[in-house]
């Protein structure tokens, strides 16, 4: 009987630990998303739209999950330095240049990337702000 009680307590403790860990990472994701949304509204929304729909052939939509996934490590570069080369998104080529946002800090960039890659039908989880620094060093 005692063994069973101990085992039960042990299991509950482990479960609680795992559960609280999970919710902590969920909280982190939620905080990235909510901060990222504010940055998105301020810097990105005028061209890319409230729902990430883009603007005609002038600004691409942010709904191409495959593109976002394949270029994940370049997203920080696109935001910080701008883009001046054609991009193929959802099978369409976009040639207008994207302005740079040098005023954004690494944490801002990470938050806005998390917002974009977890909105508009994308669901790619967290992108830690520590990654921004190394990604920016490897811009193509």
Partner 1 sequence: MIKFKNTISFAVLLALTIGFAACNNNKKLPIYGQREAVITKDKDGNQVVDTVYQTIPNFSFLNQDSTIITQDVFKGKVYVADFFFTSCTTICPTMHRNLKTVYEDFKSNPDVMFLSHTIDFKYDKPAVLKKYSQKLGIDNSKWLFVYGSKEDVYRLAEKNYLVAVEEDSTARDGYIHQGWLVLIDKDKKMRGAYDGTKTEQVEQLKKDISTLLAEEKD
Q: Which residues bind partner 1 (CB under 8 A)?
A: 45-47, 49, 55-59, 96, 99
Question: CB of residue 94 vs partner 1: minimum separation in angstroms?
Answer: 9
| CA gap 40, 49 in Å, rounded | 9
Question: CB of residue 56 vs partner 1: minimum separation in angstroms?
Answer: 4
| CA gap 29, 128 in Å, rounded | 10
Question: CB of residue 33 vs partner 1: minimum separation in angstroms?
Answer: 22
In terms of CB distance, is 45 or 124 closer to partner 1? Answer: 45
The tokens for 75 are 């997203």
In terms of CB distance, is 63 or 118 closer to partner 1? Answer: 63
| CA gap 90, 49 in Å, rounded | 16
SS3 75: helix
In terms of CB distance, is 94 or 127 closer to partner 1? Answer: 94
Question: DSSP code of 11?
Answer: H
């Amino acid at each position: 009987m005692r063994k069973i009680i101990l085992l039960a307590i042990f299991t509950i403790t482990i479960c609680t630990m795992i559960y609280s860990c999970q919710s902590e990472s969920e909280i982190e994701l939620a905080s990235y998303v909510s901060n990222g949304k504010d940055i998105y509204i301020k810097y990105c929304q005028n061209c890319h739209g409230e729902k990430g729909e883009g603007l005609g052939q002038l600004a691409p939509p942010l709904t191409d999950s495959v593109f976002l996934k394949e270029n994940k490590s370049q997203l920080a570069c696109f935001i910080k330095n701008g883009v001046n080369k054609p991009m193929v998104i959802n099978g369409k080529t976009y040639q207008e240049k994207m302005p740079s946002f040098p005023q954004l800090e690494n944490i801002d960039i990470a938050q806005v990337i998390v917002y974009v890659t977890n909105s508009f039908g994308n669901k790619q989880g967290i992108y830690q702000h520590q990654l921004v620094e190394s990604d920016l060093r490897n811009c193509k």
